[in-house]
Amino acid sequence: MQVIVLGASRAGTMLVKRLIAADHDVVLVDINADTVASSKKLNVVTVSGVIIDIDVLREAGIETADAVCALSESENQNLMASEIASEIFHVKHVITRIFDTTGNHVYNFGGFTTISSPELTVDAFMRELEDKAVEGKIDYRTHHIMNECVEFTMLTANSDLFGSRIRDIEDTDKRHVFGIMRDGHMILALPGMRIEKGDQLILASL
């Protein structure tokens, strides 16, 4: 899969590492992409520039990208870049990181998926405080897939799943693994990725 990661934030560079480990082709775009990649010893193709610059995105290969993940520290730039990827370049899988916990339902009508960092963090804290060991609802939904509302739930991986690849996991309720909460961070679930101890699976269903 060809994935463009927009933003060399902590979350962005962590996603880059995970994508590389899963043998995906990755391009990191950031105003300081070269410097960050060098300092963190990331073996990744870099494009230095503003993530909302169309020429910069073209240089990163957005016209042939399978997915775009916007994880910069600027919510406005993440949303603008995601809209460009979705509306202008018609990238099928666009995910953007937001910080506003009230507007994500509105943003999801834009043709891309939004992930609210504060909500996921608070959810993780609440699960620990309430000792939720099995499954709990995640309070966000997407509305852009065939005008249907997609419901997300969280499931803590048990020992039977450790070492399994995402592509091999089946769920009897016809839910699909959308993402993984690992070490307090949300990462995109990719087919070749293996489940690790402590992972929490984010499942999507119509």
The domain total for the chain is: 2
Domain end marker among 44, 64, 98: 98
If one compares 141 and 45, the residue with the highest pLDDT of the two is 45
Average pLDDT over residues 126-140: 54
Q: Any residues with CB less than 8 A from the CB of 178 and at least 6 apart, and which?
A: 152, 189, 202, 203, 204
Report the DSSP pairing between strands 113-116 and 93-98: parallel
pLDDT for 47 equals 97
Residues 5, 63, single domain; the answer is yes
Across 7-21, 131-145, 190-204, least confident range: 131-145
CATH number at residue 177: 3.30.70.1450
pTM for this model (two decimals) = 0.62
Residue 110's pLDDT band (boundaries 50, 70, 90)? low
For residues 150 and 40, what is the distance between their CA atoms, to the nearest angstrom? 36
For residues 162 and 192, what is the distance between their CA atoms, to the nearest angstrom? 13
* pLDDT tops 90 at residue 117: no
* pLDDT tops 50 at residue 106: no
If one compares 150 and 89, the residue with the highest pLDDT of the two is 89
pLDDT for 70 equals 95
pLDDT in tens, 89-99: 999 899 998 88
Residue 137's pLDDT band (boundaries 50, 70, 90)? very low
Alpha carbons within 13 angstroms on the beta-carbon side of residue 164 total 14
CATH number at residue 49: 3.40.50.720
Residues 134, 74, single domain; the answer is no
For residues 119 and 98, what is the distance between their CA atoms, to the nearest angstrom? 10
For residues 46 and 196, what is the distance between their CA atoms, to the nearest angstrom? 28
Domain end marker among 98, 129, 156: 98
Residue 69's pLDDT band (boundaries 50, 70, 90)? very high
Average pLDDT over residues 36-46: 94
In a domain, 121, yes or no: yes
pLDDT for 149 equals 57
90: left (phi over 0), alpha (psi -120 to 50) or beta: left
pLDDT for 195 equals 87
* pLDDT tops 90 at residue 6: yes
Contact 150, 142 (CB under 8 A): yes
Q: Where are the alpha helices (DSSP H) in the chain?
A: 10-21, 33-39, 54-59, 75-83, 104-107, 117-130
pLDDT for 206 equals 59
Domain of 175, in residue numbers = 116-206
pLDDT for 176 equals 78
Residues 126, 175, single domain; the answer is yes
Residue 113's pLDDT band (boundaries 50, 70, 90)? confident
In a domain, 152, yes or no: yes
Average pLDDT over residues 141-159: 61
pLDDT in tens, 167-181: 877 665 667 788 888
Residues 85, 159, single domain; the answer is no
